[in-house]
Structure 1
Amino acid sequence: MRFVIIICLFFQVLTTSAFGQAYQYHTVAAGETVYSISNKYDISQETLLKLNPEAKEGLQVNAKLVIPMSSEQSESSVKKVVSFNSHKVQKKETLYSLSKQYGVSVDDIKKYNKQLYSKELQNGEIIQIPVFVIDESAPDKVIIAEKKERPAPGKVIIEERNPEVFNSKPSSQIGKTREHIIIPKETKYGIARKYGMTVKELEALNPRVGVLQPGIMLKVGTNVLDQPVIITDDAFEFYEVQPQETLYSLTRRFQVAEDSLVALNPALKDGLKWGMILKVPTKDSKGNKLEEVEDLAENPIATSELSKMDLSKNLKNFETKNLVLMLPYNLSKINKDSISNAKELIQKDRVLRISLDFYSGALMAIERAKELGISTNLRVYDTQNNSGKVSQTIAANDFRNVDAVIGPLLQATSEEAASSLMNLKVPVISPMTNRELKALPNLYQSRPSDDMLREGMIAYLQSNSQGKNVIIIADAASSAIKSKLVSALPLARIVNPQANNITESTIASVLDKSRENWVILESESIGLLGSATSALNRMARNNRITLFTTYKNSTFESDAVVNEHLGELRFHFPSEYKEFDESVTDSFIEAYETKYGYIPNKYTVRGYDLTLDVLLRLAAMGTIEESVKANIITEYVENKFLYKPKTNGGFYNDAIYIMQLNKDLTLSVAK
């Protein structure tokens, strides 16, 4: 049943692929109910309660409810054109850069310059840039902003209008509060900074507010900074001051002079305080992206923690993302009018099952991104697992404005897609294959190869085996990896098994009862793995033994290897993903199970993690390539991503997990 639902969703997405949404708010009047309000705006009661969970406890007169607007409402009743700016296109200017310069969307520019739907900007061309104002005849609208004058390039200046609120007298006491209506692109950092609060204080005043949605009203302090709100862009971002940080360490971190930092943040004249929200630069005077420098002497935080980034808290680019999903569905074989035909094909075709699982996760990621304010135009293509079909699809469709392609699924089709899109510089993210891909400048391998997993485990052993008695058990077929292990761990003891079997007496000769014994087992032989794990399990009763391998091949899953033995030996192995802990609450897992009635498998979770990562990288960094330059690690439900450039072209994901099987047969990430 789950796959039939997903197939229906797939056919729907072929006809509707935009995931944008605007909102307005409604003031509850006496006698109104959830039913009457949902009827008034032609939405379901479920949608109304989802956007306004507090309404489940009853409606209060004068309460504000967030209401989704239809596309006609959001386009026509919120803003209108009052004039145009004529702009002569200069070299290297793009629609995106012009949209940022004038504070309008790319779609707005195209709408009033129809030729741009079919051709690119031409140097010297004169185009018309619309100037919008809020339609005063449309009350209670979300976007509470009006145009004062065209902002300087790279900055969007918003002035909030709410006469009732601005009559409040400023106060430095958080005990006194006022209301703030969230406008598009605002973040908790920006709102906290405007009212001289910390993010924790803002969250404490609004415990029910999780993801910020335009139109929602927040409680804030009354101490308003005497300057306009500046929505962050490529040149600036917000930063929350951490404990033990100093003004000097911040100037080092963001490579900015102290007087410049104070000029950006006048509140620093009264001293630096923990929890302050600062506006900091992301580029130098020449427009080059700054590399962060950590002063570890003053802020001794582990570098592994510093390198991880929650991109959802650093979103800057809220332009609609154009995403393409290319997967091998072979839908031509499915009779759309026959459920039994669809079920039969799904049961027989493993690649189709994986594709549908991945697709369902990707849809959930797009919905999650929408909650964060990121709209997505999704186009889905069936590659039929055929390279010729991939090139044909790309040739027949316009990919010029595509921000990223996720897929195709396998090696040959991924390479064909990247090759066909190389001239357009469209990034192609290969989602599944762990084989070494061709060196193409726009091809991103999101799944680490087997060699990367081995190298990751070797690095882990090198870093953590000091003081341990390291033993290497490897058969003749594993001589290559044995040589690497010996080179990396020169003090290790070597055991060469005979005839794919090993005895307790052979292992006992190299064990050390006075310290921990780390045994590295390398083989694909069922006989050797079975005999070795059984012998080690018995010997672990009187010795401290931990078992490792540099690659968990399918033989470890055979009946000859007892899982309980591996658990007793705290079996360690490298993996590109971690299994989510079902005992820990996760919003994605819960939402998926509610929607489909199943716990998602690893392909579904990968579809969610990878798609969300791509959308957040685009929203936080502008492009996938810029996110790679930032050298950040991102982590989601089961997967993490750290893209690095290959020496001969393209990128690979260098982020892996070292997993540990516990005695109760649960998995955890090794420390």
Structure 2
Amino acid sequence: MNRLNFLVVLFFLATIAVFSQNKKHIPYTVLKGETVESICRKLTITPYTLLQLNPDIKEGLTEGQLIIVPNKEYKPELDTQVEGDYVKDGFLYHKVLPKENYYRLRKQFGVAKRILRKHNLALRTGNLKAGQIIKIPIKAGAKMAAIATPETKDTKPYLVRPKETKYSIATRYGITVEKLESLNPDLKGTVLKMATIINVPNTEAIPDANDDFMTHQVEKGETLFGLSQQFKISQEELITLNPDLEDGVKEGMLIRIPKTTLGANTSIFVPNIPENTHLKIAMMLPFMSNKSISFDSNAEDKKKRKAAKRLNRVTDFYLGAMIALDSIKKQGVSVSVNVFDTENSIATISSILKNNRFDDVDAIVGPMFLNNVKFVSQGLRIDSLAIISPASSKDHSVFASKSMVKEVPSDELLANKVLDYIKRNYTGQHLIVIADDEKENAPRVNRIVATLNTLDSVQKVAVLKPEKGYIKLDLFKEAIQEKKENWFILITKDDV
């Protein structure tokens, strides 16, 4: 080996040594015949430490099993001393003084009683005692001048098991994939590998398979009160099941909900996505790249204004679809998308079908407009291929196959659903129909009003229609009955 190669190898080994020293925990492969006790003797650690790092080994070890152990080469930074107490891993370890109570602790350290109980199991069942060592989380604004840059770590090591993904691990600990990546910056843009040790929240994991609970992802605007009302569970129970809720409800959080609290008619979607799922999507939309379109609202040419309005709808749909696909990716699904401009032309669509393979595509989103959808459906005839027809509420039954997915229900279906709901729930309310003055809509209005008038105890359905483009306020006042609950039924094709 020449001198240059020798130096490169030395540098490589030195880099590995430095890197390993910076890892607080490392993976360890269990050898034949090894037990918890023998491993602890070998590594000079206590069984408590080993079990704390690997709660799943209580039932025993097997040869070849990967576990987490402390790294002997790890060289932690010296703890910061604060007035006799000490700081470690983002906590102040404080010895309770005689006559010290929660009020004094809050005044001195700026921490509430509930936060102390959250981080100190002994305080949940007992009171403060002199000489007791308690953990106080360090946070911005804490009244400890001696700490210039407090740590904010509240994590524990986790050993990645076979077939686990970022999404599955994030779900187990009630966080988003983004939060998991923020705890582990090296994971961003990479595939999670087995036997990697990563940081996860220092909380109890949500069991992988538990029929008694479901996982709910908090949406924007949801509150603790709203969640308790939605799932018929007290706020205290929610916090007990999800301790992180004590710090507030945050968008994207994954929380546990007992299934026993859900009513019989409650329908909640629980994602059950198999590992290593890959979706191949083709999107066919009329972007009209072959034409010049003016977005001037004052343009005199009605065709140009109509084309601009249509393109706005297409781009809005496209952006919404991309957001939905991005959401699917965050749940661990690999998605590939091919986008085609149909130019709203049968000839262009025919060329797309002829020059591209679709036998390995899972779904086609589009094309828009009924005739185009019909052409694609009849031109491909692949049973395993889902064709999603967007934006059209017209009848697809003439050509639709089993794999046809219609995004917008027909007006007739919506009307029948509303009528069914009223029939099931009507108990004497006053019914008021608001209809437009379009002649083509008149038969539908008359049919629905006639159906409503057949309900028991209905005197007569009030019908309001616009005159010269609007309905007068006095007509509303006359139609409304003050001593009854009023139900309004809107029957119109006018978006306004």
TM-score, normalising length: structure 1 = 0.37
Give 1 or 2 for the bigger CA radius of gyration.
2
Higher RCO structure, 1 or 2 (CA under 8 Å, sep 6+): 1
TM-score, normalising length: structure 2 = 0.48
